[in-house]
Amino acid sequence: MHLFYQPEAPTIAALTEDDSRHAVKTLRLGMGDEILVTNGQGRQFAGVITKADHRQCAFRITEEKITPARPFSIRICVAPTKNLDRIEWFVEKAVELGIEQISFFFSQHSERRVLKTERIEKIAVSAMKQSLQSWMPRIDEAVSFKQLLASVSDEGQRFLAHLPDHEIPSHLFRAAQTNKIYTVLIGPEGDFAEQEIQQALQAGFRMVTLGPNRLRTETAALAACQMLNLLNQ
Amino acid sequence: MHLFYQPEAPTIAALTEDDSRHAVKTLRLGMGDEILVTNGQGRQFAGVITKADHRQCAFRITEEKITPARPFSIRICVAPTKNLDRIEWFVEKAVELGIEQISFFFSQHSERRVLKTERIEKIAVSAMKQSLQSWMPRIDEAVSFKQLLASVSDEGQRFLAHLPDHEIPSHLFRAAQTNKIYTVLIGPEGDFAEQEIQQALQAGFRMVTLGPNRLRTETAALAACQMLNLLNQ
């Protein structure tokens, strides 16, 4: 059955304009057809379409299922890649695998200086629906590296994915403990500036490696996300 | 330094035509410049350009580094997705993370009936170079599901990523042992046909889950690949 996203459900028992069009025009759903609706805050509703209007498709709730928040939370902070597709697929895949928060920052070495999150938000929503989840991850607007560090709370585990030339740090999969609040910083395509690394270490971030191979920014971001999910499965 | 791929090295001490053009025209490398060359079979050569010809860039080998094959091997078998981009990024990411063999098969439920592997081969080569590896994964032409099963040797561990309705099978990450030869079958977008599942089970494949969320074909394929890499790190 199809899952739709209505942040205002159950207060509003009608699909958003986008989802209404999708349900009625694309999927040809009609009166009496059963649908699933999530509010992205852990509540999923089974419903029946009562008004198949492509501008506002109304439904009657027949059942509710509550999914509690996970006992851990994953926040990945990444610098936008030069090629936007790469960040967009990271978002789609990270949401499918499970993530609570995606934050973007501009590093000294990142070429891209502008990032519109509207399209990224849409990608996250459809990935949440596609993977049948009931929690919508938080997508943060891009900020400076300094602002990003300031936004990280002191609780939980903080990791910096970076390979220094001299020594190899411990593997994220071993450094992370289960059921924690994780924040991981992923280096930009040009890697972090030395100053940024020092700022992160001072802010309580621990240097980790993600494995033996040199990974692209978006691959590293996804690898970190999956490791932390796997650790808690 | 830039890594190039010359399967015939060291017998042939010149870059391929593609790499010659890339080295001389794009990267503007010239006589005396240092390069790295791998033969994709574990041998990496440090060299110096002796003839900066954009059709055949010759080099002199100054050093050789041998990377032994990994004590485990990962083979992911996946049905081509309707949208080719999805398979192409799976290949890029799987090669970055580490994979020995990628095999394609046509399932009863897969819409796409043709797959040209030439472009996929190119993507794998550039991902190998980009992640600075010395082993080129094997990319198999797409075959029927029956032919695929026949191509799987009896040695090693065989897994089928599939969620039956009734019970939840064990997690791939727990079912897999370290240092084995792994073969994983990933379901097509329409999922496996019941008959295909039975054929796989008869062929010694064990049903596993990849986690709590419903994953797209290419996401499942990459997740399985990363789990097996992680298990052996």
Determine the distance in angstroms separating the CA of A47 from the nearest CA of chain B, rounded to an integer: 21
Within this chain, do residues A163 and A113 fall inside the same structural domain, yes or no? yes
CATH number for the domain that contains residue B24: 2.40.240.20
Within this chain, do residues B93 and B207 fall inside the same structural domain, yes or no? yes
Within this chain, do residues B19 and B121 fall inside the same structural domain, yes or no? no
Within this chain, do residues B60 and B77 fall inside the same structural domain, yes or no? no
A214 touches chain B (CB under 8 A): yes
CB atoms within 10 A of CB B10: 14
Q: With a cut of 90, say whether residue A114 has pLDDT above it.
A: no
Q: Which residues of B touch A133 (CB under 8 A)?
A: 213
% of chain A beyond a pLDDT of 70: 100
Within this chain, do residues A208 and A117 fall inside the same structural domain, yes or no? yes
Q: With a cut of 80, say whether residue B80 has pLDDT above it.
A: yes
End residue of a domain, out of B31, B66, B101: B66
Nearest to B139 by CA among B154, B127, B130, B153: B127
Cα–Cα distance, B166 to B180 (Å, whole number): 29
End residue of a domain, out of A66, A81, A96: A66
Within this chain, do residues A106 and A215 fall inside the same structural domain, yes or no? yes
Within this chain, do residues A148 and A201 fall inside the same structural domain, yes or no? yes
A84 touches chain B (CB under 8 A): no
Q: With a cut of 90, say whether residue B216 has pLDDT above it.
A: yes
Residues A195-209: pLDDT tens digits?
A: 999 999 999 999 999
**Residues B134 and B182: beta-carbon distance below 8 Å:** no
**Residues B6 and B19: beta-carbon distance below 8 Å:** yes
Within this chain, do residues B30 and B129 fall inside the same structural domain, yes or no? no
Question: pLDDT at position A167, please?
Answer: 80
Local structure of residue A138 (DSSP, 8 states): E
**Residues B230 and A230: beta-carbon distance below 8 Å:** yes
Residues A73-109: pLDDT tens digits?
A: 999 999 999 999 999 999 999 999 999 999 999 998 8
% of chain A beyond a pLDDT of 90: 87
Q: Which of B121-125, B161-165, B190-194 has the lowest mean pLDDT?
A: B161-165
Question: pLDDT at position A66, please?
Answer: 96
Cα–Cα distance, A161 to A62 (Å, whole number): 46
Q: With a cut of 80, say whether residue B209 has pLDDT above it.
A: yes
Within this chain, do residues B49 and B99 fall inside the same structural domain, yes or no? no
The contacts of residue A113 (CB under 8 Å, 6+ apart) are A106
Within this chain, do residues B35 and B91 fall inside the same structural domain, yes or no? no
A227 touches chain B (CB under 8 A): yes
Q: How many domains does chain A have?
A: 2
Residue B209: phi, psi to the nearest 5? -105, 155
Mean pLDDT, rounded, for A11-23:
95
CATH number for the domain that contains residue A138: 3.40.1280.10
Contact A213 B96 (CB under 8 A): yes
The contacts of residue B96 (CB under 8 Å, 6+ apart) are A213, A215, A216, A219, B127, B130, B131
End residue of a domain, out of B20, B38, B66: B66
Within this chain, do residues A49 and A103 fall inside the same structural domain, yes or no? no
Confidence band of B78 (pLDDT split at 50, 70, 90): very high
Within this chain, do residues B148 and B215 fall inside the same structural domain, yes or no? yes
Mean pLDDT, rounded, for B64-82:
95
Q: What global pTM score does this model have?
A: 0.93
Cα–Cα distance, A221 to A215 (Å, whole number): 9
CB atoms within 10 A of CB A120: 22
Domain extent at residue B52: 2-66
Picking from A230, A231, A232 by the largest number of B CB atoms within 10 A of its own CB, the best residue to mutate is A230
